[in-house]
Amino acid sequence: MVQETGVLPDHEIEALVADGAIRSDLPLETGQVQPASLDLRLAEDAYRLRASFLPGKDRTVADMLQEPGVHMHRIDLTDKGAVLETGCVYLVPLQESLRLPAGISARANPKSSTGRIDVFTRLVTNRGRAFDDVPTGYSGPLYLEVSPRTFPIMVRPGDRLAQVRFKRKRPEALKERVVSINLEPPAGQPAGYRAKQHSGVVDLRGIGAHEASQFWEPVFPRHGRIVLNPEDFYILVSRETVKVAALEAAEMAPIAPELGEFRAHYAGFFDPGFGTNKGGSRAVLEVRSRDVPFILEHGQPVAKLIYEPMAAKPSGLYGGSGSNYQGQGLKLSKHFAT
C-alpha cells in the first residue's frame, strides 16, 4: 500500500528511473538502488576548488565554475583514475541527474564506507542554497563536493561516495532515539580505532585490500574513558543495537551542542531492515573532537537517530548479499583487511 507521505522504497525509485525523473549517463548498475536510497556515481572529471561554495538562488554550478578564482584546475578521472588529496576540496559532476515531479524531494548523505575513511561529501545542485537537500520539482544536474580529511583517496568514474533518499512530501518523524558510546569492550579488545596521520592512499575499489594496521591504531579505554585529541579521527561503536523495521527509514542527526563539542557521524542513512538480523547490529560512529581535547565516557550520549515512515515496503531489505555492515559491531570500512 502506497502512503501519501514517506521515504520512497526501491521499486518507487526504479519507477522514477523508468519515468525519466532520475536520469543517468549510463544505465544503473546492479545494487545501485538500495531499499530506501540510490547510490550516486562520479562522472569523468573533477574540479579542484579554491573554496567550497553554494551557487545561491540565481546561479547554476556551471556559472560558478566559469567565474575567475573559483576552481584551480580540472582533473581527468578516466584512464587510471586520480588521487584526491587531503585538505583539498573538489567538486565532481555525477552521472545521475534529476527531473523530479512536484511533491518529490530528495536528501543526500555520504555512504557508510565513505564516512568511515573520513571523506566529507556534500551534494550540490543548481541554484542551491543548502547542501544535500534537493527541493521538490528540481530539474538539473547533480554535483558532489568531496573533501578527504585524513587519507588521500584514489577515485575513478563510477565510484559511489554518496547516496540520495527520495521523499514524497515531508514525512513526520515516527520517533527519535539517542545513541550512546560503548567504551567497555571485551577484555583485550579495542573500543575503537584512531586514524594514523600521513598514511597511504585508499583505493576506493580496493575492497579488503588495505592493511588496517598501516592506517589505524587501536584505542583502549581506561576505566571506561578515552580522551579525544582535537581534530583526530576515530571509529567507535554504539553501546546499543540499532534496528530499523521494514516500514521505517532512519537518519542519524547532527550532534546536539549540549551533548559535547564533537561530531559523531558523517554517514547517517540506515535502510529498512538494518539490524533485524539475529543478535542485532550496532551503529558505527565517525567521531572528531572540535578545537579542544574532550573526554568520552562509557554510556555517554553521542548522537540521535530520527525514524521516518516509508511510503511503502521495499521489495528488498537491508542485509542481503550486497550489505557490508549487517550484524556489525566495531567495524572499519570494507576497504580494510583486519
Distances (CA, A) of 201 to 151, 160, 197: 6, 17, 12
Q: Are strands 294-297 and 336-337 parallel, antiparallel or unpaired?
A: unpaired
% of residues, the chain, pLDDT over 90: 81
Residue 43 has pLDDT above 70, yes or no: yes
Rounded distance between C-alpha atoms, residue 18 and residue 46, angstroms: 28
Task: Retrieve residue 280's grid coordinates.
Answer: 542485532
Give the pLDDT mean for 78-89.
94
Confidence class for position 265, pLDDT limits 50, 70, 90: low
| 8 Å CB contact between 309 and 141 | no
Give the pLDDT mean for 167-188.
89
Residue 135 has pLDDT above 90, yes or no: yes
Confidence class for position 259, pLDDT limits 50, 70, 90: low
Residue 26 has pLDDT above 90, yes or no: yes
Rounded distance between C-alpha atoms, residue 253 and residue 36, angstroms: 17
**Which pLDDT value is given to residue 100?**
97
**Which pLDDT value is given to residue 303?**
87
pLDDT digits over 117-127, tens only? 999 999 999 99
pLDDT digits over 192-226, tens only? 999 999 899 999 999 999 999 999 999 999 999 99
CATH H superfamily, domain 175-337: Deoxyuridine triphosphatase (dUTPase) (2.70.40.10)
| 8 Å CB contact between 319 and 276 | yes
State the first-to-last Cα distance of the chain, in angstroms, to the nearest integer.
43
129 conformational bin, left if phi > 0, alpha if psi -120 to 50, beta if neither: alpha
Give the pLDDT mean for 16-39.
96
Domains 6-168 and 175-337 share a fold: yes
224: Cβ contacts below 8 Å, ≥ 6 apart: 183, 184, 297, 298, 299
Instruction: Sketch the domain layout of the chain as residue ranges.
Output: 6-168, 175-337
Amino acid at 325: Y
Task: Retrieve residue 112's grid coordinates.
Answer: 557508510
**Which pLDDT value is given to residue 173?**
73
Give the pLDDT mean for 263-281.
85
- Higher-confidence residue: 262 or 45? 45
Residue 1 has pLDDT above 80, yes or no: no
Task: Retrieve residue 49's grid coordinates.
Answer: 576548488
Rounded distance between C-alpha atoms, residue 20 and residue 135, angstroms: 17
CATH code, residues 6-168: 2.70.40.10
**Which pLDDT value is given to residue 232?**
94
pTM (whole model) above 0.85: yes
Give the pLDDT mean for 107-131.
95
**Which pLDDT value is given to residue 211?**
96
pLDDT digits over 296-313, tens only? 999 998 888 999 999 999
